[in-house]
Amino acid sequence: MNKLLIKDIVLINEGIRTASDIYIEGEFIKKIGVNIKSDNDVKIIDGKGHIAIPGMIDDQVHFRQPGLTHKGDIRSESKAAIAGGVTSYFEMPNTFPNTTSIKEFENKIKIASDNSFANFSFMLGGTNDNINEIKRIDEKQVAGIKLFLGSSTGKMLIDDKISIENIFKSTSLPISAHCEDEQTIKDNTEHYKRLYGEDIPISAHPEIRNEDACYKSSNFAVNLAKKTGARLNVFHISTAIELDLFDSKVDLNDKKITSEVCAHHLWFTDDDYNRLGSKIKWNPAIKSKDDRDALWQAINDNKIDIIASDHAPHTIEEKNNKYLNCPSGGPMVQHTILSLLQNCEKYGVSIEKIVEKIAHNPAIIFKVNKRGFLREGYYADIVLIDSNTPTLVTQESLLYKCGWSPFEGQKFDNSIHKTILNGNVVYENGKVNAIPYGKKITFNR
Ligand code: DOR
C-alpha cells in the first residue's frame, strides 16, 4: 500500500494555520499531527518551507470532450488542472452533444474514467424540454444542474420561464445558473451593430453584456429560488450591484442561495481590453476596477461563497476572429490558485479564506464525499505550495491543448510544488505523473 509522510509543513485548513505532519496510507489521510513516526516502507516528503492546502474543487470547468476536442479534452485539461492544484472538477454540459441526458452524462463518466488526471464529476444541462431526464437523475452521482439563462458557447440557452420554474421545483440538486439577460444582450448588440457594423471593438463587450444584463438575470434566478425553495448557486458574479442579492450573515450550511466568482473577474478589469483584446473576452464580461474590487471585498464578507476557474479554452485562431464571431472564454485552470494567492494579501483576504472558497465551500454546497478538507479519513487530495519559488508563465509551460494563456509573461510569487491526488504524488518538479489517477466524485445526498 502507498504510504507517504509529509513532514514539518504549514497546514492551512478550516481557518487554522498549524505546523504539522500529514501521514497518508493508500488513498486517504490517516493522521495529521506533530512528530508522526514512520516505518521503513514510508516515503518521506520534506515539507519545510512549504504550505499544504486541500486540493481545489473547481466546480466550473469546460474540458470540451466530447465534440469540441480541437479546443481541449479531458486528458489535456485535467493535466493542466493538477499542475495548477485543482484536484477535483465539475465539468459543464456545453460539449457536443450537449450533456442534457443521463446517457450523455454516463458517456462523459466513461471518458473521464479512462483519461482524467483529476477527480471528476459532471453537471447535467437543463433545457426547455428535458425535465424528464432531470427527474431521473441519481443525485448521488451527478454534481448538479447547469442552466444557461443567458446564451454562451454551445447554444444551451434555456429561456422558457415555465420550463425553468419546473426545473427549480423538480430537483433538490444545486442549480448552477449562468445569469445574463438575453434580451438586454440582444438589444445592446443591435445598438453596437448600428454604430460599428460588423467591426464592433472588443472594448464594447462589457457594455453589451453589461451590469443590467447580469443583475436582471441574477435577480430573476434568486427570486425564483426564493419562490420555489430551490438550491441555487449563481455562477461567475461579475458586478458589484449583483452582490446585493446575496446574504452574508447566514451560515453556509443554512444558505439555499449561494454565489460564485471566477479568478478572471478577480484579476482583470476593462483597462486590460487594450492590452489583451479578445483573449479576455468572457461571458459574463470583465467589468470595471470598482466591480473587481467589490468582488474581492465580497469574498471576505461571505457574500461570495465559491471561487472557480470557469476554465474555457478556445483555439487562438478562434479567439482572433472579429468580435461577433469570437468565442468567449479562456484557459485558466493551471493558474487559478496562483493568481488568487498573488492578490489576496493586497485585498486583505487571507489564504485561509481562499482555501474556504476553493475547497471547503464547494465540498459543503455540493455535498462532496470526503474531499475539500484536510481531515483524517478523507481522501489525500493535497497541494503543496512553495512561496519561495516564483512561477513565470511561458507558452512552453502551458499544458492546455489550445497552447495559450491570458497570463503569458506574468510572474507569480508562488509555485505549485507538488499535487497529491488520492494519496499519489501526481505533479512535482513541474511534471505531471504519466498515469491518470482521477476518480469519480460521489456525493453525500
Ligand atoms: O466565457 C464563457 N465561456 N462563458 C461561458 O459561460 C461559457 C464558456 C465556454 O464554454 O466557452
What single string gives the DSSP state of each residue in 336-393? HHHHHHHHHGGGT--HHHHHIIIIIHHHHHHTBTT-SS--TTSB--EEEEETTS-EE-
- CA of 328 from ligand 1 middle (Å) equals 6
Name which residue sits closest to atom 2 of ligand 1, judged by CA. 329
Tell which atom from ligand 1 comes closest to the C-alpha of 281.
Answer: 1
Tell which atom from ligand 1 comes closest to the C-alpha of 178.
Answer: 6
Residue-level pLDDT at 33: 98
- DSSP tag of 123: E
- CA of 72 from ligand 1 middle (Å) equals 13
- CA of 61 from ligand 1 middle (Å) equals 9
Alpha carbon distance 88, 118 (integer Å): 6
Alpha carbon distance 295, 272 (integer Å): 17
What the block records as the C-alpha cell of 143 is 454534481
- Degrees, nearest 5: CA angle 393-350-117: 45
For a pocket test of ligand 1, which of 90, 96, 99, 153 has the largest count of ligand atoms closer than 8 A to its C-beta?
153
- CA of 283 from ligand 1 middle (Å) equals 6
For ligand 1, residues with CB inside 6 Å are 62, 94, 152-154, 178, 282-283, 312, 327-329
Residue-level pLDDT at 154: 87
- CA of 443 from ligand 1 middle (Å) equals 26
What the block records as the C-alpha cell of 265 is 473577474
- CA of 140 from ligand 1 middle (Å) equals 26
Residue-level pLDDT at 34: 97
Residues 37-75: tens digit of each pLDDT: 999 999 999 999 999 999 999 999 999 999 999 999 999
Cα–Cα nearest to 326, from 334, 336, 315, 338: 315
Asked if residue 188 lies in contact with residue 213, where contact means CB atoms within 8 angstroms, the answer is yes
Cα–Cα nearest to 113, from 441, 445, 444, 443: 441
For a pocket test of ligand 1, which of 62, 178, 180, 268 has the largest count of ligand atoms closer than 8 A to its C-beta?
62
- CA of 152 from ligand 1 middle (Å) equals 6
Report which residue type is found at 34: V
For a pocket test of ligand 1, which of 89, 91, 94, 311 has the largest count of ligand atoms closer than 8 A to its C-beta?
94
Residues 345-401: tens digit of each pLDDT: 999 999 999 999 999 999 999 999 999 999 999 999 999 999 999 999 999 999 999
Alpha carbon distance 26, 116 (integer Å): 19
3-state secondary structure 187-245: HHHHHHHHHHCCCCCHHHHHHHCCHHHHHHHHHHHHHHHHHHCCCEEECCCCCCHHHHH
Residue-level pLDDT at 153: 87
Question: Which residues of the chain fall below pLDDT 50?
Answer: none
For a pocket test of ligand 1, which of 157, 158, 236, 328 has the largest count of ligand atoms closer than 8 A to its C-beta?
328
- CA of 284 from ligand 1 middle (Å) equals 8
Alpha carbon distance 340, 266 (integer Å): 8
Asked if residue 313 lies in contact with residue 71, where contact means CB atoms within 8 angstroms, the answer is yes
- DSSP tag of 67: T
Asked if residue 65 lies in contact with residue 111, where contact means CB atoms within 8 angstroms, the answer is yes
- CA of 83 from ligand 1 middle (Å) equals 22
Residue-level pLDDT at 434: 85
pTM above 0.85, yes or no: yes
For a pocket test of ligand 1, which of 310, 323, 333 has the largest count of ligand atoms closer than 8 A to its C-beta?
310
Contacts for 307 with CB less than 8 Å, ≥ 6 apart: 260, 261, 262, 263, 266, 299, 336, 340, 354, 357, 358
- CA of 95 from ligand 1 middle (Å) equals 11
Residue-level pLDDT at 28: 98
